[in-house]
Amino acid sequence: MITNYLLSGMVGIMLFFTVVVAPTVFKVLPVEWSSKYVRIFFPKYYATLGLLTLICIWTASDSISRALLGICAALFALTLFYLTAKINKAKDSGRNRQFHLLHGASVVINLFQLITFIYLLVKAP
């Protein structure tokens, strides 16, 4: 039961940021401010969602859910501790192609996590 509440909250956070916050930040703020905001926000985003996902692993009712949540938690860690630094370094170095590839990878990972969380909510008894 708590797993579904946590998953619902995480889906809400992910959708709200993707649909409302990110487009608004990049539309309203100057590039240097929006970049600074995103660099401060994303580590907190990945850490918070990663920790909540770890809690879900312990509260999930079946092994398939725990395995999927484990993959999502590992991906949050990968994005937090490795990919974000690589994305920032590519951006700072002006390596636009590498930046777009890495950023694209982070978007695909985030989309996979979101779809996984929605799947787990839909399949829940």
**What is the sign of the dihedral through the CA atoms of 26, 89, 75 and 77?**
negative
The answer on pLDDT for 93 being more than 80 is yes
Average pLDDT over residues 57-73: 97
Residue 48 CA to residue 22 CA, distance in Å, equals: 17
pTM of the model: 0.93
Average pLDDT, the chain: 96
